[in-house]
Chains A and B, each alone.
Chain A
Amino acid sequence: MNQYIFHPFVLPFVLGMAFVLTYCLVGLFRIIGQLPKDDRKKFWRSLVTPKTAWANIRDLFGDCLFHVKIWKRNPILGYMHSAIAFGWFMIIVIGHVMLFTLKPLQDVDVHGFARTFTNFYYPIFYKHFAEETPVFAFLMDFFLIVIITGIFIAVVKKIYSGVVGVKRVTKFGFADNMIRFALWTIFPFRLIAEKTNIMAFWWLYSIDLMIFMCMLPFTRYMHIPTEALFILLKHAGLKPREPRKGYALAQIYSCPSCGLCIDACPMSVNDKNSGNTSAYFMKKLRNADDAEAKRIAETCMQCGKCVAVCPVSIESCDIKMSQREATPYIINSDHSYLENVESSSSVNSTVLYFAGCMTQLTPKIMRSMKKIMEAAGENYEFLDKDGGICCGRPMMLSGKKSEAQAMIDKNTELIKKSGAKKLVLSCPICYKVFKEEYKLEGIEIQHHTQYINELIKNGKLKVSKGDVNYVYHDPCELGRAFGVYDEPREVLENVGNLRKAKSEKELSICCGGSLGSFNLTQQERDEITANSVDDLMYNHPDEIVTACPLCLKTFSKKSPVQVKDISEIVSEKI
C-alpha cells in the first residue's frame, strides 16, 4: 500500500467503526422487528406523512444536532454538550468534504473497494498523509479546539456538577466511566498527533477511538445513534407496550443517563430515594434487572416531571406503566356488581358534575361547586352526590388496564343516560382518564378550573376581587398531562393577587399524595409534601391554592398557611 494512504495505525479505528455500524444495524432491525404489526405500519406511514415527516426533520436537527432542549435547560450544559457533539459532527462532515481537495490523495491510483476503504478512515487521519488548504485547516483546528473546551467543562462538571446547575449526577459503573475517559482523551490525542506527527500519539488516538466505538453499544453513549430512531418512532405516535421490547427498547438505548431527572424528581428530596429516579430505572431495564425495574416502576408517583425535563423526551412514565402492566396478579378484580347500580341523579340537565372519590373526601369542594353553579344559574346535576363509582384511573395506575374497563363502561353508561352536554370534574385524576379512555362523543369534558374560568369570562359568574395573595399549585395530572396552566391562573387573578411559586407549571413539584406510587411510606410522602410546600411558599403568599382534592388534602397537613381549592376561593368571592 502507498505510504500516502495507509498506515497500520488506522486499523483499530476501522475495526471499532465496523463493529459499531454492524451492531447498530442489527439493533435497528431488532427494534423494528419487535414492534407489533399495527405499530410498524403506523411507523412506515409516519415517515411519508408530510406533517410527521416535517416534525421528524425539525427534531432530528433541533435535538440530535443542535441540542436545543439542553440549551434551554442550562446554557453552560448546552455549550458543553454541543461543543463535543456538534463539534465532532462538524469535524466528520468537513473531513469528508475536504477529501476531494486533499493532495496527494487524489493523484494516487487506487480504485474500487480500495478507494472506498480509504475514504472510510482517511478524514480521521488525513493530517498524517496529506496537506489541506488553509481554509479547511483553520476550520478543522477551530472545531477541534471547540471540542476540547467542551471536554474541559465536562471535566470541571465531573469535579463539581454545580457549575452547570446540577446538584446530583448519575452514578456510573466501570464501563460508563471508562468510555467517558476514552471520549475525553480522543481529542487531545488527535490534537497532539496532528501538531507533532509522533507515531505513538496516532496509535493512541486510533486505539482510543476503537475503545469508544467498541464500548458504545454497552454504555450510555448508545444514545447517540439511537436517539434518531427514537425521534422517528415517537412521531409515529407509538406507545410502549412491553417494558423491554420494541419502542421501549429504543427509549432505553436513547437514555443518555444525564441525570437531569434526578434533581427534578420529587422523590430526590430524600437522597435515599434518588436511586428511584428515571435515569436509574432506564439503567435497570437496560441491564435486564427486572426485580429492581419493577420496584422502581412501582415506587414512581407518575407525576411526569422527569419526562418534562428530559432533554431526549424519554417517556419513562409510559414505560413504567407498561412495566406495571406486565406484573401478573393471582386474584383478579370482579366488578360485576356494578351492572345493577342505578343512577341517583335525574336526567335533563345541561351540566353534569362528577366529584369523584377524592372530592367525596373534601366535601367543601362539592359545596363550593354547588354554590358556583347555582350563582351562575346553570342547569346542573350531581352524578355522584351519594357516592359514585371510581373513574378507573387508580386501577389503571396499578397496571390493571383491562379491569378498569368495568368502571369505565358503567360510568359512561350513567353519563350518557343523563343527557348532559357538559361534564365537569373536580379531580385531575378523573380528568385524565375521562379525557384519555372514555368515549363520550358529544359531551364536553372540563375540569372545574376551566369551567369556572369560562363562567367568569362569559359573564355568567360575577366575582369580586380581594387583596389576598395566592400561590397556585399545578396538579400533575392537570398541568403536565394536559397543559391546563392558564385557566386557573386567570381565575385567581380575577379574585385576588397571584404570586409565583419557585417551580411552576411543567416544573411544579408533586404534592406527594399521588396514587401513582405503591411503595412510598407515609414518612417519605411527608418529606415530599414539605419540600413542595417550601417551594410554593417561596414568595410568601397568604394562601396556597390548588385544583386537586388530593393535593388539597395532602398539603393541608404540612402547610403553614391555609390551603384551599380554587372553587372555594371563587365561591367566597361571589
Chain B
Amino acid sequence: MDFGFCLSPSSHVKMDSIDLTTFNRLKETNPDVNTCIACGSCTSTCTAGNFTEMSFRRLLLMLQRGKEDEAKKMIQRCMLCGKCTLVCPRGINIRKILLDITR
C-alpha cells in the first residue's frame, strides 16, 4: 500500500527477517523484560545517560527490533550503578538484565 510517504530505507525494520536471538535468550533468563511499560524512569535517572545517549528503555526497544549492534554499543556506556533498577515501577531487575546482555 502506498500512502505517498514512507520511512527512509535505513530505518526499516523487517520484523520477519531480524535476528532476535539475544532478546529471546533474555526473555528466557529474565522473563520480567516482558513486563516493561516503557515509562522511561530508567532513562531519566541514568547516570551514564547524563553524558551519553545511554537509555535502557531504548536498549530494550533496539533488542526487540533486532538492532543488536547498536544495542551492544550503547550498553558499553553503562556504569551499572543500579539507579534504574531502584526506580523501576515494575520492579524489573534491570541491572541483572544489563549484565546478562553483556555475557
CB <8 Å contact, B103 and A361:
no
CB <8 Å contact, B101 and A518:
no
The chain A residue sitting closest to B97, CB to CB, is: A518
Q: Which residues of A in the span 297-332 have a Cβ within 8 Å of any Cβ on B?
A: 327-332
Give the size category of A's interface with B: 35 or more
Query: Of the candidates B78, B82, B103, which one forms a contact with A515 in the assembled complex, judged by CB atoms under 8 Å apart?
Result: B82
Say yes or no for A402: interface residue by CB 8 A criterion: no
Complex: A338 Cα to B48 Cα, angstroms: 9
**Stretch of A180-188, A283-291, A345-353, A389-397 that contacts chain B:** A389-397
Measured between C-beta atoms, what is the minimum distance from B58 to chain A in Å?
A: 17
CB <8 Å contact, A360 and B79:
no
CB <8 Å contact, B83 and A327:
no
Q: Which residues of B in the span 52-103 have a Cβ within 8 Å of any Cβ on A?
A: 52, 72, 75-83, 86-87, 91, 93, 95-96, 99, 101-103
The count of chain B contact residues (Cβ–Cβ below 8 Å) is: 27
Say yes or no for B51: interface residue by CB 8 A criterion: yes
The chain A residue sitting closest to B96, CB to CB, is: A518
Complex: A552 Cα to B40 Cα, angstroms: 23
Complex: A220 Cα to B45 Cα, angstroms: 47
CB <8 Å contact, B79 and A330:
no
Given A331-B72, A407-B79, A341 contacting B102 (CB threshold 8 A): no
Complex: A327 Cα to B91 Cα, angstroms: 26
Measured between C-beta atoms, what is the minimum distance from A283 to chain B in Å?
A: 25
CB <8 Å contact, A521 and B93:
yes
CB <8 Å contact, A338 and B51:
yes
CB <8 Å contact, B76 and A332:
yes
Measured between C-beta atoms, what is the minimum distance from A430 to chain B in Å?
A: 10
Say yes or no for A233: interface residue by CB 8 A criterion: no
Query: Of the candidates A333, A361, A389, A515, which one forms a contact with B95 in the assembled complex, judged by CB atoms under 8 Å apart?
Result: A515
Say yes or no for B24: interface residue by CB 8 A criterion: no
Complex: A330 Cα to B21 Cα, angstroms: 15
Given A361-B86, A394-B82, A522-B91, A389 contacting B75 (CB threshold 8 A): no
Most buried by A among B50, B76, B80, B96: B80
Say yes or no for A462: interface residue by CB 8 A criterion: no
Complex: A329 Cα to B103 Cα, angstroms: 5
CB <8 Å contact, A337 and B86:
no
What residues of A have a CB within 8 angstroms of the CB of B43 in the complex? none
What residues of A have a CB within 8 angstroms of the CB of B72 in the complex? 331
What residues of A have a CB within 8 angstroms of the CB of B102 in the complex? 329-332
What residues of A have a CB within 8 angstroms of the CB of B52 in the complex? 337
Complex: A290 Cα to B48 Cα, angstroms: 33
Complex: A33 Cα to B101 Cα, angstroms: 37
A-B contact pairs, 10 of them (CB 8 A): A330-B103, A331-B76, A334-B77, A389-B47, A390-B79, A394-B95, A398-B80, A519-B96, A521-B91, A521-B93
Q: Which residues of A contact B (CB under 8 A)?
A: 327-335, 337-338, 341, 357-358, 360-361, 386-390, 394-395, 397-398, 400, 407, 513, 515, 518-523, 550, 553
Q: Which residues of B contact A (CB under 8 A)?
A: 32, 45, 47-48, 50-52, 72, 75-83, 86-87, 91, 93, 95-96, 99, 101-103
